[in-house]
Amino acid sequence: MATALVASTSVPANPEKEKCETTVQKVVNPEAYIKHPLQNKWALWFFKNDKSKTWQANLRLISKFDTVEDFWALYNHIQLSSNLMSGCDYSLFKDGIEPMWEDERNRRGGRWLITLSKQQRKSDLDRFWLETLLCLVGEAFDDYSDDVCGAVINVRAKGDKIAIWTTDYENKEAITHIGRVYKERLGAPQPRTSLLPEDR
């Protein structure tokens, strides 16, 4: 435990006597000041479809974070995914990886995909997205967390999608483990996998 010293001066009832100076030690819990680092730094992106702009111009970096506290501060100050307009996306990717298949780290990647009906937007979308984010920032995929690039949520009129993007579609062991853990964490039906670049 850390301690902070606080000096205080007290004056006795009799002003004739000397002033007494006392030092009081106050115990301060270091947890009040220390943030809890994440294993990776993450970047949150937002996409809003504006047909007058290019796809890349519609994609904006919102913020980066690398601590548990900063993750929750960001999550609690953005709109829930179920409140986004149709055509909008959130993407959470490791810092240095852009949420596009053209990025070098995504080029050979695949994805685990959850498709939700319009009716599931109110009941499941926010819960599934938050659990997906927690899987990423909490490194829930054990030894295969390094094989995860990020995740994307697409809000669309016909139905919404959530996907975890992986680095290498040929690494079957990593992909299988990531999919199994993801399914267990969501408590959902088996996510569909798109392992080949042309399936994206």
Question: Tens digit of pLDDT per residue, the chain (200 long)?
Answer: 444 444 444 455 555 555 555 666 777 777 668 899 999 999 999 999 998 999 999 999 999 999 999 999 999 999 999 999 999 999 999 999 999 999 999 999 999 999 999 889 999 999 999 999 999 999 999 999 999 999 999 999 999 999 999 999 999 999 999 999 999 999 866 565 544 444 55
Q: What is the CATH number of the domain that holds 118?
A: 3.30.760.10
Residues 13 and 90 in one domain: no
The DSSP letter of residue 22 is E
Total domain count, the chain: 2
Contact of 30 with 1, CB cutoff 8 Å: yes
Residues 18 and 44 in one domain: no
Residues 98 and 11 in one domain: no
Residues 13 and 58 in one domain: no
Residues 47 and 132 in one domain: yes
Strand partners of residue 126? none
Residues 45 and 74 in one domain: yes
Residues 14 and 108 in one domain: no
In the prediction, which pLDDT does 197 show? 44
Contact of 139 with 153, CB cutoff 8 Å: no
**Angle 172-186/126-137 helices, nearest 10 degrees?**
130
Q: State whether residue 186 is helix, strand or coil.
A: helix
Measured CA to CA, the distance from residue 180 to residue 156 in angstroms comes to 26
In the prediction, which pLDDT does 196 show? 43
In the prediction, which pLDDT does 3 show? 41
What is the span of the domain harbouring residue 22?
Answer: 2-32
Strands 59-67 and 111-116 come out as unpaired
Residue 125: in which H helix or E strand, if any?
none
In the prediction, which pLDDT does 80 show? 97
Residues 114 and 152 in one domain: yes
Phi, psi for 85 (deg, rounded to 5)? -70, 155
Residues 73 and 15 in one domain: no
Instruction: Quote the tokens at residue 105.
Output: 């780290």
